[in-house]
Structure 1
Amino acid sequence: MNKTSRSRSRRSIAQPLLASALAFAAAYGGPVTADDLAGAATNPLANLMQFQFQYQYNGGYHNSDDTSQMGVIQPVIPFNLPWASVPTLITRTTIPYLTTPEIDLGRGGRSSSIELPDGGFVDVPAGLDGKIDSQSAWGDIVSFGLFLPKLNLKGQTIGIGPVVSLPLSSNKLTGTGKWELGPAAVYINTNTPTWQWGALAYHLWDVADSQSDRNYQSKSFFQPVLVKHLKDGWYVGTQDLLWSYDWRSEKWNVPLGVRIGKVTKIGKQPVNLFVEPIYQPVDDGVQMEWAIKLNVTLLFPQ
Structure 2
Amino acid sequence: MKNHLILLTSLVATLSGVSPAAAQGSAGSPAAGNADLALKLSNPLAALISLPIQKNVDFGLGADGNGWQSRTNIQPVIPVSIGKDWNLISRTILPVIIQEGVTAPRTDQLGLGDVVQSLFFSPKAPGPGGIIWGAGPVFLLPTATNDALGAQKWGAGPTAVALRQSGPWTVGMLANHLWSFAGKEARQDVSATFMQPFISYTTPKATTIGFNTETTYDWKRDRWVVPLNLTVSQVIPLGGQLVQVGVGGRYYVESPAGGPDWGMRFSFTFLFPKR
**TMscore range, shorter length:** 0.7 to 0.9
RMSD over equivalenced CA pairs, Å: 2.1
Which residue of the partner structure matches residue 245 of structure 1? 217
Distance 1:81 1:142, change over 3 A: same
TM-score by length of structure 1 reads 0.75
Bigger strand share: 2
CA contact (8 A) 1:254 1:282 kept: yes
Distance 1:62 1:170, change over 3 A: closer
Alignment of 1:160-199 (within 5 A): 160-190=135-165, 192-199=166-173
Show structure 1 runs of 5+ residues with no match: 1-30, 106-130
1:147-186 deviations in Å (ceiling 9; x for gaps): 0035542532110000001000142211001100000010
Which residue of the partner structure matches residue 28 of structure 1? none
Show structure 2 runs of 5+ residues with no match: 1-29
* Structure 2 residue 69 is matched with structure 1 residue 68: yes
Report how far residue 62 of structure 1 moved.
6.2
Q: Which runs of 4+ in 1 moved over 6 A?
A: none
Structure 2: distance between partners of 1:151 and 1:232:
25
SS in 2 for 1:258: strand
Structure 2: distance between partners of 1:77 and 1:218:
27
Structure 2: distance between partners of 1:299 and 1:290:
29
Distance 1:221 1:77, change over 3 A: same
Structure 2: distance between partners of 1:230 and 1:151:
22
CA contact (8 A) 2:32 2:205 kept: no
Structure 1: distance between partners of 2:102 and 2:61:
10
Structure 2: distance between partners of 1:179 and 1:297:
29
Number of residue equivalences: 242
Structure 1: distance between partners of 2:205 and 2:127:
31
Q: Identity rate of aligned residues, in percent?
A: 31
Report the more deviating stretch, 278-287 or 250-259: 278-287
Structure 2: distance between partners of 1:276 and 1:48:
23
CA contact (8 A) 2:68 2:102 kept: no
SS in 1 for 2:150: coil
The one-letter code of the counterpart of 2:66 is D
* Structure 2 residue 270 is matched with structure 1 residue 298: yes
Which residue of the partner structure matches residue 269 of structure 1? 241
1:57-103 deviations in Å (ceiling 9; x for gaps): 22333643122212111100000012x45x10110000001123314
Which residue of the partner structure matches residue 77 of structure 1? 78
CA contact (8 A) 1:56 1:293 kept: yes
1:102-147 deviations in Å (ceiling 9; x for gaps): 1476xxxxxxxxxxxxxxxxxxxxxxxxx47121121000010000
Distance 1:249 1:51, change over 3 A: same
Which residue of the partner structure matches residue 94 of structure 2? 95
Report how far residue 33 of structure 1 moved.
9.1
* Structure 2 residue 209 is matched with structure 1 residue 236: yes
The one-letter code of the counterpart of 2:219 is W
